[in-house]
Structure formats: C-alpha cells, structure tokens
Structure 1
C-alpha cells in the first residue's frame, strides 16, 4: 500500500511540475525586435562576458509622461559594481530640454546603494535573474510582456504593463545605454 501511495504521489508531482515547466517555457519565448528570446539573450550575455571581459557600464532610464525622468549609470569592473551615477530631470514641454533637479555619485564600496533614488547598483547578471523571477513570470493574460535586446543580444528591456493601463504603467527594466569597458 505504501508503495502504491508513493507511486501516486510521485506521478502527481511529475505531472504538476511538467505543467508548470511548460507554462514557464512559454513565458520565456517572448522575443524582442532583435530576434532574441530570454534564453538566447542570457546565453549570448554569458558568451559576450567571456569574449569582452566582465567590465561594462549601463544606464537605466525612468521617464514619465508628466515630464519627470531619471538616469542611473552603473559601472561594473570584473563582475563587481564599482560606481553609480544618478541624475533626475524634468523635460520641458516647449523644447524638450532637461532641467536637472538632483544628482549624486557613489564611488566607494561604502557609498554604493546609500541613496534611495535611482536604480539599485546591480550587475547585468542580477538584472537577468530579476527579469526572469519578477517580470517574465507575471500572468500573460492580464499583462502585456516586453523583452528586447541590443543587436548583440544583451537584454535592454524586460517588464510588463497591465492590460488597459494608460499612464506610467510599465514595471521592469529599461536599459537606455550599454557599453563594454
């Protein structure tokens, strides 16, 4: 009897895991304009890090329809975040110019992450993990999912927007600039 029960439990567990794996697989198939889905992009990222070295800069852009915006630039050297720069601004409706409202630089290990505003001081590896765990796994029926890369396959956009939402609804990662050092 115990053997039959164990077989039943294992069978149910396998079926449930298979269904959730199939569901997860379809969520990873979101493909951007540059032709990479999440898995392909992450593989390209790993290859590029080996080829280019693990030192780079990237900028996270946040921008509202109200004119408010900010950019946080993160510098990574040999896989470790070394610096974070932040600038907040308001965009003029008349000419599109920016008026800077706040800035800071964090240049030491002790300073990194000490300011509340701006994107957290994460590596691109961490952003891939966040993309997968927090943004690609939301309900695809009630949210529009976004994922895109640059020409080389490096993730530049990962997030979602609730269906029917009108203003400032995007939740996720928007990298506006990426450069190898």
Structure 2
C-alpha cells in the first residue's frame, strides 16, 4: 500500500482519488482497508470474504495469474485454455461459487524438480489449479492491505515493493 496520508484521498464525483489521481475500484477498496486498519489497529474486519468474490477483484486477480502463466494444476487446465473458453464466464462461475460458499480448492499437483547445483537431488513443487490461483490472488488483494497497515517499516520479508536488497540498503544507510 502507498504510504500517502488519509487527507490525500478524497472522493469527487463518485471517483476515489489518491494524490489527485483516480483509483480503480479494487485499488480504492485496498486503500480504504489499509486506511481503516492504520487508523484503528484494534479494528476487527468482519466482511472481507464478500470482497474476495467481487467480479472486479477476481478480474484483477485473473490479470496477475495470467501474467505469471504457470503450469496447469491437477485438472490440466491452463491459463490459455481458460482464455479460449471465456474468461468472463470463468470468473462469473467462480464468483457464484464463492458467494454460494460452494467453492472448494482442488488438490495440488505434485512435481519433483531438480535442485540447481545439486545433481540427483530434487524438491517437491506443488501446483494449484488456475481457479485456485485466481481465488488465492483475490484473497491476497483483499487481505494484504489490512496486514500491511500493522507491519513495521523495518520488516522486508515477503512484502510488496520490498526485497532483501531493500533490507541490505536500509542496514547500510543506518550503519
């Protein structure tokens, strides 16, 4: 999440804005969740599941999954196959399953891949289905802003726009 101030976000003519730039609905949702969590660290969020099933959130999640491509899961369905069959219908069905609470994740496809630089050694790779990747990404889009609000600025692991390089640079600057 951006570290802008709450006052820099405003609504004009029904469009959420951050620093004068219009936000799309998913980004506006994320900013709202972040701001609420930041303003009240003790706040409990009760209605997050409903946001995961929103079509715009699922579309954003699909975009991320589509960009990463990846191997097919246990069902053998690829990103290209979903695109060919119709993304709109795929996401509509997924949204309906989530709203009806009938969605169930599929088992993971297990693949053994060789460890680099270690001949004869392998590690297990678990591959989710495309549908599961979309749902996991949608959940991440909704949950991440809530948790980001509580993380310390000195935390770098597995966070957006932060890496080991950023952590090393922070140590170098502080030393």
Given the two structures, how large is their TM-score scaled by the length of structure 1? 0.27
- Structure with the higher fraction of residues in strand conformation: 1
Structure having the larger proportion of residues in helix: 2
Q: Which has the larger radius of gyration?
A: 1
The TM-score, its normalising length taken from structure 2, stands at 0.28
